[in-house]
């Protein structure tokens, strides 16, 4: 049976894959695993949960189901309303909650939704804890009655606590910066423009009118065309784009060029390194980060530690080894001194802070790294279990020798499909394409 939890919680089409009943059952199981529900009689203390969501229409009934499951299990619930995932994570810690719940499908279209659970302190769950919640879905529970049931109250005003927190992390005012912010009609549509204005920037917000059905539609970090157009036509200094739950951020410079997560991390890492704030002079990235990022960090005297793809693996390495900056090319940037997860608003504020302190435009700051041409071919319909076949490994070794220090090869089986991804970086796009095509042919032959 397939694992219910994916790489970022439980996700699916709301009402079909992710039903109200499943949401309630997950909440009940999570209450017992994370909140130690049922211990009220022995301790005299009820556990507390915070619950937030993005603006999807389905979030309304899923929130009701999750809140019902938690309260029925004896957990007091604070409903935070529509807030970004990192805000829910921060408030889980700041309010001393035993668990947090975020209802969102991130950058997915509106019919999808998801449930993410957060442990005490606001950190994402380990695989082992998720497996325990999933295992206990079928348990028979004894529910409290009378004074033992959880109480529910609205705590929408806590959004200001989050805004105040991200603003206190800054060491530069943004006075005079002209910014366009694309909120993806998502969870950041209120807090992001307000925070940026309070930081001193002149702000034009787009994608900030959610109707429950338009989240990520033509806006946000996966659809940058509108933001590019507005930045250039307005003559703004830059644009920033969040995804549906605002845990990632991408940027647009004043010419309309895209500044991806690798470049944002490079800018932040160089700035923190220069101020002596980069822990162990190290940044954590995934194997998919561009080789140009790694070369730029090497030249700047910064070590790059690599992890598997996924911000949770970046965070795990950061926590275990004491690093404070890491992230992904997609725009998930984790600043562990200030947040327990990727935080698009926090990232954009610190990126703007570097601009304000240096007086340099984003285009010039982004020149800290030169991305190498990167070709990605998804070879579908193959046996991904054969990705380590000796003939394929030999072809990869030959390609790596051909590319030398100015190129890279990555062969990665898909986690969810019968597909193997072939990624090649080289000094020229033509060379990268040639090598990628050649390796894709080997995959089709060997992994048929």
% of the chain with per-residue pLDDT over 70: 98
The predicted pLDDT at position 304 comes to 98
DSSP H helices in 199-327: 225-234, 261-274, 291-299, 311-321
Q: From 392, 208, 351, 173, select the one nearest 266 (Cα to Cα).
A: 351
CB 79 within 8 A of CB 155: yes
Residues identified as active-site: 106
% of the chain with per-residue pLDDT over 90: 88
Q: From 268, 275, 43, select the one nearest 283 (Cα to Cα).
A: 268
The predicted pLDDT at position 397 comes to 94
CB 182 within 8 A of CB 227: yes
The predicted pLDDT at position 255 comes to 98
Q: Mapping DSSP to helix (H, G, I), strand (E, B) and coil, where does residue 349 land?
A: helix
Average pLDDT, the chain: 94
The counts of H helices and E strands in the chain are 15, 18
CB 102 within 8 A of CB 85: yes
The predicted-structure confidence for 108-123, as pLDDT tens digits, reads as follows 999 999 999 999 999 9
In 18-108, DSSP assigns E strands to 48-53, 76-82, 99-103
Virtual CA dihedral for 29, 32, 33, 34, nearest 10 degrees? 110
- Whole-angstrom distance, CA of residue 68 vs CA of residue 25: 10
The predicted-structure confidence for 341-353, as pLDDT tens digits, reads as follows 999 999 999 999 9
How do beta strands 10-13 and 112-118 pair?
Answer: antiparallel
Q: From 217, 226, 211, 243, select the one nearest 105 (Cα to Cα).
A: 243
| pLDDT(1) > 80 | no
Q: How many CB atoms sit inside 10 A of residue 233's CB? A: 10
The predicted pLDDT at position 309 comes to 85
């Amino acid at each position: 049976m397939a694992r219910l939890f994916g790489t970022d919680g439980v996700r699916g089409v709301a009402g079909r894959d992710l039903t109200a009943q499943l949401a309630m059952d997950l909440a009940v199981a999570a209450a017992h695993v994370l909140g130690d529900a049922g211990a009220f009689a022995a301790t005299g203390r009820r556990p507390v949960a915070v619950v937030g969501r993005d603006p999807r229409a389905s979030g309304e009934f899923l929130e009701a189901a999750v809140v019902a499951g938690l309260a029925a299990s004896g957990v007091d619930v604070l409903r935070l309303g529509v807030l970004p995932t990192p805000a829910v994570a921060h408030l889980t810690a700041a309010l001393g909650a035993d668990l947090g719940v975020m209802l969102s499908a991130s950058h997915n279209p509106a019919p999808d939704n998801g449930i993410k659970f957060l442990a005490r302190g606001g950190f994402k769950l380990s695989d082992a804890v998720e497996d325990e919640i999933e295992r206990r879905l079928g348990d028979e529970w004894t529910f409290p009655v009378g004074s033992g049931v959880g109480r529910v109250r609205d705590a929408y005003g806590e959004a200001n606590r989050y805004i105040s927190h991200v603003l206190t992390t800054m060491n530069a005012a943004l006075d005079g910066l002209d910014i366009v912010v694309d909120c993806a009609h998502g969870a950041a549509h209120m807090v992001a423009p307000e925070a940026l204005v309070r930081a001193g920037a002149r702000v034009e917000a787009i994608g900030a009118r959610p109707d429950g059905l338009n989240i990520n539609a033509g806006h946000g970090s996966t659809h940058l065309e509108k933001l590019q157009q507005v930045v250039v036509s307005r003559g703004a200094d830059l644009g920033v784009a969040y995804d549906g739950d605002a845990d990632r951020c991408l940027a647009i410079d004043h010419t309309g060029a895209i500044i991806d997560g690798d470049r944002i991390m490079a800018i932040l890492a160089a700035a923190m390194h220069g101020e002596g704030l980069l822990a162990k002079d190290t940044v954590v990235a995934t194997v998919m980060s561009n080789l140009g990022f790694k070369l730029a960090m090497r030249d700047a005297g910064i070590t790059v530690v690599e992890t598997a793809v996924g911000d949770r693996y970046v965070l795990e390495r950061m926590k275990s080894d004491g690093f404070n900056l890491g992230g992904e090319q997609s725009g998930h940037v984790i600043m562990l001194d200030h947040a327990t997860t990727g935080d698009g608003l926090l990232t954009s504020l610190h990126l703007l802070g570097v601009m304000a302190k240096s007086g340099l435009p984003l285009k010039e700051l982004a020149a800290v790294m030169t991305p190498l041409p990167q070709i990605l071919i998804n070879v579908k319909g193959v046996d991904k279990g054969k990705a380590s076949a000796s003939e394929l490994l030999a072809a990869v070794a030959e390609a790596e020798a051909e590319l030398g220090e100015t190129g890279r090869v990555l062969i990665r089986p898909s986690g969810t499909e019968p597909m193997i991804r072939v990624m090649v970086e080289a000094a020229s796009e033509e060379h990268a394409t040639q090598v990628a095509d050649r390796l894709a042919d080997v995959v089709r032959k060997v992994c048929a």
